[in-house]
Structure 1
Amino acid sequence: MQGGPAVILVNPQLGQNIGMVARAMLNCGLTELRLVAPRDGWPNPDAEASAAGATLVLEEAKVFPTTGEAVADLQRVYATTARARGMTKVVETPRAAIGGMRAVSAKGQSVGVLFGPERAGLKNDDIALADTILEVPLNPGFSSLNLAQAVLLVGYEWFQAADETPASELVLNSTRPATKGELINFFQRLEKALEDSGFLYPPEKTPIMVRNIRNMFQRADLTEQEVNTLHGIISALWEKRR
């Protein structure tokens, strides 16, 4: 998977952090990494060691002497910061901003996200080059993120916006959902066993008790294998009573 906004690291300090950023990027399908005047030069062997296999991101990384040159070919630029900067700019959360990013990308325009150095973040002159500020809503008493975490949060929102993985699903493996016929057969057998045991008493409450029992099992989304297991339990209990 390729595409998405360019990740632009301004004056990154440690090679290990650049490598962890590359790993976070590839987790989210982002591959375009731009480095602005990395402190320890480039390439940096420490970056590859911490990239955990995301070497293609590092191999394609581009280096620029200034932030202005790094964003010169982009049509839309976002800047990440956790501090108020006293500028008149739109401020969005990453989740809110992704729709705009994807709309711009869909038109064939280029998008980039600026991330500042580990110790101090972006300078105001860097932020002035951006169209929009990104702020991640976190604990106001402690909102500090390391570089890779910040990239991962933005990248995750980008990836999730197009991901079609269901939020929840029942993994059936080698079985299948039970049919209504199988459930009804189980209900009838269970109810006969309960009636013989004297559980369904008094008689005037039997219909309500039966409905409650059936609803309880209906909510369980039983599989064929589970219904067969329940039949086995009933058989074992019957055998024990004989």
Structure 2
Amino acid sequence: MKTRFVLIHTSHAGNVGATARAMKTMGFDDLVLVAPRWANVLNREETIQRASGALDVLKNARIVPTLDEALDGMTHLCATAMTPRDFGPPTRAPRDHFAQLLSAPEGPDAAARPESVAFLFGSERFGMQNDDVYRCHVALSIPTDPCFGSLNLAAAVQLIAYDWRQALGGFAVQSATSPPAQADAAAVAAMLRHWEEALVAVDFLDPAAPKKLMPRLNQLFNRASLSPEEIHILRGVAKAMLQKAAVAEPPKA
């Protein structure tokens, strides 16, 4: 669904950059600024630094003089207003509203889903003006601690963007690393022979009465599913034990 984020009278350049970053992490790129404090806000150093790589969002962003121009083509308008109002659209939590919005049946004989959604954010100091809230279909209120509900502008954008992306289906969790390859049985056996030699050298294993130490170590390493790199480390430990034992061994008469 076409999604637009609209910042109205933004006064801090850093918040514009951080908003671009918040949008990009959730896969959104349509950003419109209504009469920001700085005419060159999209190119200011603080904006670029806070965008932290979301320069494509800044490049595609638009600055317009009026809210009417910012909302051109948008069919469902969501105000973000923490302060309750006696008059205006219903106030809902983002997640609840999104679930209701996307559950609307489609078709000519049913209430269709909106074709596009715009999220409106007011200035950092004063929030949204009443007239701007009144024209919206809903006022989204992020559930916060009743004793402290003050949210940074970019943080609010991130929360709305996350809940909206989740409502649209979300992204799959990406594994940070691929699982390591597993060492073969021959490598494990060679490492165990190396360890047996080292354990004897440091007097931890009595070759005359080995009991079940080596089979138990074999089972331990099998459960660990060692990688080739881990085998290399363990053989390095065995080598160090052998070297230490050789240095400590008294000279023969």
**Which residue is 1:92 aligned to?**
94
**Which residue is 2:120 aligned to?**
114
**Which residue is 1:165 aligned to?**
174
**Which residue is 1:8 aligned to?**
6
CA distance in 1, matches of 2:184, 2:17: 51
Shift in alpha-carbon separation, 1:124–1:93, aligned structure 2, 3 A: farther
**Which residue is 1:63 aligned to?**
64
How many Å apart are 1:195 and its aligned residue? 6.4
| Contact 2:198–2:239 (Cα < 8 Å) also in 1 | no
Match of 2:33 among 26, 32, 35: 35
Q: Count residues with an aligned counterpart.
A: 224
Query: Structure 1 runs of 4+ off > 6 angstroms?
Result: 98-101
Gaps of 5+ in 1: none
Shift in alpha-carbon separation, 1:31–1:181, aligned structure 2, 3 A: same
Shift in alpha-carbon separation, 1:108–1:39, aligned structure 2, 3 A: closer
Match of 2:156 among 131, 137, 150: 150
How many Å apart are 1:216 and its aligned residue? 6.8
Shift in alpha-carbon separation, 1:121–1:132, aligned structure 2, 3 A: closer
1:129-178 Cα shifts (integer Å, max 9, x gaps): 1346251x555443323323322343456668225522x42586xxx443
1:22-47 Cα shifts (integer Å, max 9, x gaps): 454345443212233x2547xx1244
Shift in alpha-carbon separation, 1:151–1:114, aligned structure 2, 3 A: same
SS of equivalent to 1:151: helix
1:109 alignment partner AA: E
Gaps of 5+ in 2: 106-112, 247-253
CA distance in 2, matches of 1:110, 1:126: 18
CA distance in 1, matches of 2:163, 2:183: 37
Is the counterpart of residue 48 in structure 1 residue 43 in structure 2?
Answer: yes
State the identity as a percent: 26
Q: If you compute each CA radius of gyration, which structure gives the higher value, 1 or 2?
A: 2
1:188-210 Cα shifts (integer Å, max 9, x gaps): 5435654673458xx79846x96
**Which residue is 2:137 aligned to?**
130
Is the counterpart of residue 77 in structure 1 residue 77 in structure 2?
Answer: yes
**Which residue is 2:245 aligned to?**
241
Is the counterpart of residue 229 in structure 1 residue 233 in structure 2?
Answer: yes
How many Å apart are 1:5 and its aligned residue? 1.9
Shift in alpha-carbon separation, 1:8–1:152, aligned structure 2, 3 A: same
Shift in alpha-carbon separation, 1:233–1:113, aligned structure 2, 3 A: same
CA distance in 2, matches of 1:16, 1:91: 27
1:143 alignment partner AA: G
CA distance in 1, matches of 2:179, 2:196: 29
CA distance in 2, matches of 1:188, 1:11: 72
Normalising by structure 2, we get a TM-score of 0.63
CA distance in 1, matches of 2:160, 2:100: 12
1:63-109 Cα shifts (integer Å, max 9, x gaps): 25236x64453233333233444664431349x949967x99xx892
| Contact 1:4–1:29 (Cα < 8 Å) also in 2 | no
**Which residue is 1:182 aligned to?**
187
CA distance in 2, matches of 1:4, 1:215: 55
